[in-house]
């Protein structure tokens, strides 16, 4: 009897070891506090927070993410929302509430180098690497099929994700994505990573607001936008300030160097472009000569071009909105998004 018990204990120990080895290989997930400082950000996250720990480029990294359960009868679908360069996962809060209220499970990650995720001292940022990290997070959560919703740089990453993993993308939604044009081919001068780093290091409330007001919000400013600027300033001034600025410089270089626009014809998923037409965002516009600036960031034209180039795409335009329609007019934005997803 005792022998059997001993064997059972040994066996269960062995099973646990194997389970841990498998879990470690696929990355591991743990709960972390939603409040307080994590990897250089002290922003309070609106839903329970977890991290996904995994190996990438010979480093142990952690991606912070929120996993929001449906608040009604589940529809069996999962949506993942990818934030832009100047936002973090919490900026999707109201969208996540809408989606979970429609039966979706919603995954909201912070990408590596951003927000509450690891800030590597060096990392080869590529849209493909960010897509792999995102796909591995979904694997670790046992999620097989997703609706991918990406804004700005997150939209550019989503397009790459859709090109790489069409078999797991049920639908693709690009909200004022970056990468609808190839900035360097249009004449944006090259900036070294050191120059980009100095530029990033100088970020403060004023510089971020001055950048966002004309591009994101068509010249208008509402006090409610401050929360997202302060979330970012907090990281630029936080414990990981210089590493964050360096990571952001690498990220800018990544987006400038790795166009997706030439591959739009290869995108397989059913795609929705949600475009604020007054957006004039273009990477490198600030340091380009006036004749180049004049060519860049015409989202009223770029949205239509992308919709024509992507084989199975629908386009919804907001004639009077800028780069962040989900922030500027959440009700109209969510009506359009949910209408398309469920329609
Ligand atoms: C986060 O940090 C900022 C500036 O360092 C501070 O003003 C703010 O109160 C902090 N917030 C929290 C929730 O700790
Ligand atoms: C996942 O999405 C793909 C692409 O839309 C679809 O072909 C496939 O049937 C879906 N798989 C499951 C298990 O829902
Ligand atoms: C904020 O940054 C801008 C541009 O980097 C700089 O000109 C300005 O002096 C800074 N303001 C403060 C209050 O630090
Ligand atoms: C790279 C890095 O510093 N990651 C840290 C992120 O935060 C978690 C939780 O505090 C730490 O365990 C990681 O080391």
* Alpha-helix runs per DSSP H in the chain: 2-25, 93-100, 127-140, 153-164, 193-201, 205-216, 226-236, 241-257, 290-293, 299-309, 325-328, 330-342
Q: Which pLDDT belongs to residue 23?
A: 47
CA of 92 to the centre of ligand 3 (A): 28
For the Cβ of 201 lying below 6 angstroms from any atom of ligand 1, the answer is no
Mean pLDDT for each consecutive 10-residue tract of the chain (343 residues)?
63 57 70 97 98 97 98 98 98 98 98 98 98 98 97 98 98 98 98 98 98 96 98 98 98 97 98 98 97 98 98 98 98 98 93
293-302 CB burial, b ≥16 within 10 A, e <16: beebbbbeeb
Regarding beta strands 169-175 and 105-109, do their DSSP bridges make them parallel or antiparallel, or are they unpaired? unpaired
Query: What are the residues facing 50 on neighbouring strands?
Result: 31, 65
> Which residue is closest in CA terms to ligand 2's atom 14?
145
Can you tell me the distance from the alpha carbon of 191 to that of 194, in angstroms, rounded to the nearest whole number? 8
Residue carrying structure tokens 């995102």: 134
CA of 269 to the centre of ligand 2 (A): 10
For the Cβ of 205 lying below 6 angstroms from any atom of ligand 1, the answer is no
Can you tell me the distance from the alpha carbon of 327 to that of 83, in angstroms, rounded to the nearest whole number? 12
Contact criterion met (CB below 8 Å) for 215 and 280: yes
Q: Which of 198, 199, 207 to mutate to test the pocket of ligand 3 (most atoms within 8 A of CB)?
A: 207
Report the residue count for the chain: 343
For residue 105, tell me if it sits in a domain.
Answer: yes
Query: What is the chain's Cα-based Rg?
Result: 21
For residue 21, tell me if it sits in a domain.
Answer: no
**Distances from the Cα of 83 to the Cαs of 65, 110, 248, 312, 314, in angstroms?**
11, 7, 14, 23, 21
For the Cβ of 145 lying below 6 angstroms from any atom of ligand 2, the answer is yes
For residue 13, tell me if it sits in a domain.
Answer: no
Task: Give the CATH number, domain containing residue 140.
Answer: 3.40.50.1820
Is this prediction's pTM over 0.85?
A: yes
Can you tell me the distance from the alpha carbon of 330 to that of 199, in angstroms, rounded to the nearest whole number? 31
> Strand order in 146-151's β-sheet?
28-32, 49-56, 59-68, 105-109, 78-82, 146-151, 169-175, 270-276, 313-318
Can you tell me the distance from the alpha carbon of 326 to that of 131, in angstroms, rounded to the nearest whole number? 23
Q: Which two tokens stand for residue 331?
A: 């009700």
Query: What are the residues facing 313 on neighbouring strands?
Result: 271
For residue 22, tell me if it sits in a domain.
Answer: no
For the Cβ of 12 lying below 6 angstroms from any atom of ligand 2, the answer is no
Q: Which pLDDT belongs to residue 259?
A: 97
CA of 169 to the centre of ligand 2 (A): 7
Domain, as residue range, for 337: 28-341
Can you tell me the distance from the alpha carbon of 239 to that of 241, in angstroms, rounded to the nearest whole number? 6
CA of 118 to the centre of ligand 4 (A): 6
For the Cβ of 247 lying below 6 angstroms from any atom of ligand 4, the answer is no
Which one-letter DSSP state was computed for residue 69? P
> Which residue is closest in CA terms to ligand 4's atom 9?
38
Indicate the number of domains in the chain: 1
Task: Give the sign of the dihedral formed by CA 154, CA 229, CA 116, CA 105.
Answer: negative
């Amino acid at each position: 009897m005792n022998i059997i018990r001993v064997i059972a204990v040994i066996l269960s120990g062995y099973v646990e070891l194997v389970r841990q080895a498998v879990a470690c290989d696929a990355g591991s997930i743990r709960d972390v506090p939603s409040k307080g400082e994590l990897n250089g950000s002290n922003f309070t996250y609106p839903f329970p927070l977890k991290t996904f720990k995994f190996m990438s480029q010979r480093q142990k990294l952690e991606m912070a993410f929120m996993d929001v359960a449906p608040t009604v009868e589940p529809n069996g679908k999962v949506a993942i929302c990818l934030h832009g360069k100047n936002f973090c996962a919490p900026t999707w809060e109201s969208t996540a509430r809408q989606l979970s209220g429609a039966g979706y499970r919603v995954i909201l990650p912070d990408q590596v180098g951003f927000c509450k995720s690891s800030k590597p001292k060096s990392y080869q940022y590529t849209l493909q690497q960010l897509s792999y990290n995102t796909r591995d997070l979904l694997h670790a959560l046992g999620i097989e099929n997703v609706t991918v919703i990406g804004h700005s740089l997150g939209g550019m990453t989503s397009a790459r994700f859709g090109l790489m993993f069409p078999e797991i993308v049920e639908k693709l939604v690009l909200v004022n994505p970056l990468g609808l044009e190839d900035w360097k081919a249009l004449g944006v001068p090259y900036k070294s990573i050191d120059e980009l780093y100095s530029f990033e290091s100088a970020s403060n409330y004023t510089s971020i607001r001055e950048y966002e007001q004309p591009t994101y919000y068509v010249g208008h400013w509402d006090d409610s936008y401050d929360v997202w600027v302060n979330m970012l300033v907090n990281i630029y001034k936080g414990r990981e300030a210089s590493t964050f600025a360096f990571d952001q410089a690498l990220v800018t270089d990544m987006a400038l160097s790795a166009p997706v626009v030439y591959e739009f014809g290869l995108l397989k998923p059913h795609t929705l472009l949600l475009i604020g037409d007054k957006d004039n965002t273009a990477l490198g516009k600030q340091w380009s000569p006036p004749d180049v600036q004049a060519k860049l960031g015409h989202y009223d034209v770029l949205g239509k071009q992308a919709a024509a180039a992507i084989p199975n795409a629908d386009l919804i335009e907001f004639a009077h909105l800028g780069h962040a329609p989900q922030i500027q007019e959440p009700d109209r934005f969510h009506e359009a998004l949910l209408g398309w997803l469920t329609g």
